Amino acid sequence: METGPAARGASSGDRLRGDDCDRDWVWDRHVETAPPAEIFARASRRWETQFRHLAERSPFYAQKFREAGIGSSRVRLGDIGRLPFTTKDELKGAIDQEPPFGTNVCVPLDQVKRIYQTSGTAGAPSIVALSRRDIETWTEIGTRSYYATGIHDHHAVLSTYGAGPFVAGHTQFALTRMGVRAVPLGPGDTERVLFSLRSGIADTLLATPSFAQYIANRLEADLDSSSLALTHVVTGGEPGGGIPAIRDHMQTVLGATVNEVMGIGDVAPSLFGECPHQHGMHFCGAGHVWPELVDLETRELVTIESGAVGEMVYTSLTREAMPVVRFLSADIVRVEGTSCGCGRTGFRMRCLGRRDDMFIVRGVNVYPSAILAVIGEFKPRVTGRARVVRHGNQVSVQPPVPLEVEVPAGQRLDAALARQLEGAVRSRLTFRSTVELIPESAFGESTYKTRLSVTRE
Ligand SMILES: [Zn+2]
């Protein structure tokens, strides 16, 4: 399942390689290592209060519960499956109904102390409102997640997540809480990132995997990376940091441990963090968020256990301003396990991709992250970035599946390479593809998230 011989930069153990400090490697040991029964009991108590809060303060959820025939009768956490799911479209609809805050803002407006705007791929931006306590909760969950990756107060952390309006900017609160030396930069400021890494003012890089790969490729081309102070790369925002071919390449080039974090704007921006054992991201939201896994087609509950695949669903347990109940995240994950050498009891998972990025070839679900895993093995002849070209809103794709694969600048477009990539996709993923090689300069934006699939007519 995991990679074979440890690549250069790989970590092993509870701390990052080379970190010999004596701090506890778990931020909130009391909560993060609690047995499942204790976590469920605490969550159940908090849910009772949350459910009353929703019924009394959220016209949006009061109506949803009424329509589901629940009315005002109490629903225990163990019976939460009786409650309807919430979709992103419904949350947007709640905003549109009474803009700008909508019908799910459950506190008086003078208690809303922070507002993030979602990037909104379609239509107008939407907002996420936080009370003072919500800000603190997000910071607490984010701190657990980032601390889990191995970041301690003696690290110097270069963050390339913008400081706002997007929820990823909340990371700065977590970095402050941990007491690190923070080096905040904006997304896409490549030259400043390279300066910071070469000059040694940061030993930790937080970036999307696309950007981290881009930086790794740049550094590989012009520098002996063993002279960098960089020891740790934390990726987030999209799958990649957990794909062996991509992770191992970055670890080898940079000599740094690569692990990942993940969150979701409407729930908590950093909700999962991968520990230095590098076996998937731990759920770090215990006590504040109740996670469920559901089947992709039937939406029946799937037991969270090793090997399970499904869509993550989240319920807020302590949220004041904009709580969500059984929110369908559209993130498809594979559970890697429910225990870990680090002692955390939060389950471990890898994100396979967004529901929208998934497609079906001859009845088999395919995630673009699986394609990246195959393509990544061809580095350095390819950069590691690739995407699937789809037409219209089709979910079912007839082979050959059109793929665009990025190759490094200055490299000639080698037809033999394209055929080899097609052969690898065929043998590993069992479908035919047509690979078009795209030079780095023409592939498009490398500095933030790369869409894993692109729709063309
Ligand atoms: Zn762990």
| Average pLDDT of the residues in 40-66 | 96
Ligand 1 mean position to 340 CA, how many Å? 5
CA 210 to ligand 1 centroid distance, Å: 24
The pLDDT of residue 224 is: 65
pLDDT at position 51 over 90: yes
What's the rounded Cα separation, in Å, for the pair 357 and 274?
A: 23
3-state secondary structure of 75: coil
CA–centroid distance, residue 287 to ligand 1 (Å): 18
User: What tokens appear for 363 in the block?
Assistant: 């009845």
Question: pLDDT at position 58, please?
Answer: 97
Which residues sit with Cβ closer than 5 angstroms to ligand 1, an ion? 275, 277, 340, 342, 344
Pairing state of beta strands 281-283 and 268-274? antiparallel
Residue pLDDT, tens place only, 112-125: 999 998 765 455 67
Q: Do 138 and 268 contact (CB within 8 A), yes or no?
A: yes
Q: How far is the CA of 379 from the centre of ligand 1 (A)?
A: 29
Q: Residue 392: is its pLDDT beyond 80?
A: no
Q: Are residues 104 and 96 in contact, defined by beta-carbon separation less than 8 angstroms? A: no
**Which pLDDT band holds residue 3 (cuts at 50, 70, 90)?**
very low
**Ligand 1 centroid from CA 273, angstroms:** 9
Residue with token string 């939460």: 80
pLDDT value of residue 433:
96
CB neighbour class for 254 (10 Å; exposed up to 12, middle 13-18, buried from 19): buried
Backbone angles phi, psi at 360, to 5 degrees: -125, 125
What is the rounded distance in angstroms from the CA atom of residue 270 to the CA atom of residue 260? 10
Beta bridge partners of 337: 348
What is the pLDDT averaged over residues 96-108?
Answer: 94
230 pLDDT higher than 90: yes
Residue of 149, 131, 286 lying closest to 207 (CA atoms): 149
CA–centroid distance, 352 to ligand 1, in Å, is 19
Is 60 exceeded by the pLDDT of residue 184?
yes
| Other beta carbons within 10 Å of 192 | 14
Pairing of strands 289-294, 309-316: antiparallel
Question: How many A from CA of 249 to the centre of ligand 1?
Answer: 22
pLDDT of residue 164: 65
What pLDDT is attached to residue 188?
Answer: 76
pLDDT range class, residue 445, cuts 50, 70, 90: low
Q: Residue 217 pLDDT > 90, yes or no?
A: no
The pLDDT assigned to 443 comes to 84
- Please tell me the distance from the alpha carbon of residue 33 to that of residue 248, in angstroms, as a whole number: 29
* Cα 378 to ligand 1 centre (Å): 30
pLDDT score recorded for residue 7? 53
CA of 15 to the centre of ligand 1 (A): 10
Q: Which whole-number Å values give the CA distances from 101 to 15, 50, 97, 128, in the listed order? A: 43, 20, 9, 8
Query: Where are the alpha helices (H) located in 244-333, listed in sequence order?
Result: 244-254
